[in-house]
């Protein structure tokens, strides 16, 4: 089997930044299902690895990742506000 020695794609880097245990891929698959697009987990990872040209998968992934990063930013702001109020 050939190993991938290339540097991570932008999408893989986003996943790495989100850390282990994140649910972005699962959430993306659920979002796509709500939109009537059926996709497997492996197909999603193929798109993130750059081995698939399904633009709707990447668009949904970016949308989900942005929402997760925004949610985390809001949580940090709320926590800081509570610390300052205490």
Read off the pTM: 0.86
CB of 43 closer than 8 Å to CB of 54: yes
CB of 11 closer than 8 Å to CB of 61: yes
Tokens of 56: 């709707």
Question: By C-alpha distance, which of 59, 79, 65, 58 is closest to 27?
Answer: 65
Q: Domain residues of the chain, as ranges? A: 10-85
5 pLDDT band, cuts 50/70/90, is: low
pLDDT in tens, 15-64: 999 999 999 999 999 999 999 999 999 999 999 999 998 999 999 999 99
Residue 61 CB: number of other CB atoms within 10 A? 23
């Amino acid at each position: 089997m050939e190993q991938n020695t290339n540097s991570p794609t932008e999408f893989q880097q986003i996943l790495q930044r989100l850390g282990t245990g994140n649910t972005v891929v699962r959430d993306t698959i659920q979002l796509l299902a709500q939109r009537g697009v059926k996709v497997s987990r492996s197909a999603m990872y193929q798109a993130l690895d750059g081995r698939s040209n399904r633009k709707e998968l990447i668009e949904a992934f970016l949308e989900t990742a942005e929402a997760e990063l925004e949610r985390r930013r809001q949580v940090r702001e709320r926590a800081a506000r509570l610390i300052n109020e205490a």
